[in-house]
Amino acid sequence: MRWIIGWAIGWAVLGCGDDDGGPVDTAGEDVAAFEDGAEDASAGDDAPATDDAPPAEDAAETTDHVGPGEPDECLAPGADWVFCSSFEEGDFGVWDDYDGNPPETNVLLEDPGPAGLAGNHVARLRVPPGRGGADLVKVLPGEYDRLYARWYVRWEPGYDFDAPNHGGGLHAGSRDYLGRSDYRPDGTDWFGAWLEPVAIPAYGHVLNVYSYYRGMYMDCADPSGSCWGDHFPCMVDEGATYCERPEHRETTVPPDLETGRWYCLELLVDGGTPSATEAGAGGTLDWWIDGLEIGPWTPLWFRTTAELRLTILWLSLFHHEEHSVEGLYLDNVVVGTSRIGCLGD
């Protein structure tokens, strides 16, 4: 297991998993497969149909949606939404997890949620003791060059932000690659971006995007050629080793996270024009917390072929080692081709 100065930044070099099948040990790095514990990662997972809808023109423009006081915003979806779950379905049937979302990790609870509504329901993810994870996987109805995802998260009181962890976000490519780590994708297979907490001594516990993609560079110095994900914004050092490119450093510092309150999280991933070299790349990452924009970062080299497109929403909680019993709550999940915005926007 690789560590850099102190625990607060040491977890940054860890991968989040290899595939759907189980733990593996690659290049001396103990990594976990935790997407669903599937016996067959390809079973029942046909390739999604292609969606030809054009990308949104204006990333800052939000779409209309049901505001606070409504029981389920999914009853009145935006025209450009491709998936919505407010956890009012009564079960996890709209999700595509191979493990069926076992009750020891995934539970639907009655909770007022971010809008403070009586009778509202949320999903709770908790991870059993030791190394492992809990997640929600949605194979989207099409394949997309550019997507926005918005979800609400509330870390339970008692949640330990210092425990090594990974989060969730958007994935491009086959489901077989979901949760892979320890190597740089080749531009034809997959890329992904996940919002997750990190401990930074100067700032506390803040969110960042952890991303695997063709042009990743921040932690690729391993003698065996292994790579671990890039961070956006890169705050783990002052540019000496990991944060070498100033354009990937923080311009807006994310807020210090608290337990027991709801946060509106938004993520944009745009694969950009496929390019054989980094010089022609045009990919974009951006994210918001309670409407505060932390990015964007562009151009990023995500892919070399137009056939590699966004296919999966993956909301997860993974721990590398011991951690708190408490996990997190999720609510009001939307994926769309334009920015969704927070409730009440």
Specify the pTM: 0.82
Q: Strands 49-50 and 81-85, how do they pair? A: unpaired
Q: Per-residue DSSP letters for 13-30?
A: G----S-SS--EEETTEE
Q: How many CB atoms lie within 10 A of CB 194?
A: 22
Distance CA 175, CA 325 (A): 29
Distance CA 77, CA 84 (A): 8
What percent of the chain lies above the pLDDT cut of 90? Answer: 71
* Cα torsion 235, 326, 170, 223: sign: positive
Q: Which of 116, 157, 120, 133 is nearest to 257 (CA)?
A: 157
Q: For the domain made up of 6-41+51-336, give the CATH fold.
A: Jelly Rolls (2.60.120)
pLDDT tens for 271-324 read: 999 999 999 999 999 999 999 999 999 999 999 999 999 999 999 999 999 999
Q: Alpha-carbon Rg of the chain, whole angstroms?
A: 19
pLDDT tens for 263-274 read: 999 999 999 999
**Residue 52: band (very low, low, confident or very high) from pLDDT cuts 50, 70, 90:** very low
Asked if the model's pLDDT at residue 212 lies above 60, the reply is yes
Distance CA 338, CA 195 (A): 19
Q: Per-residue DSSP letters for 80-107?
A: TEEEEE-S-SSSSTTS--TT---TTTEE
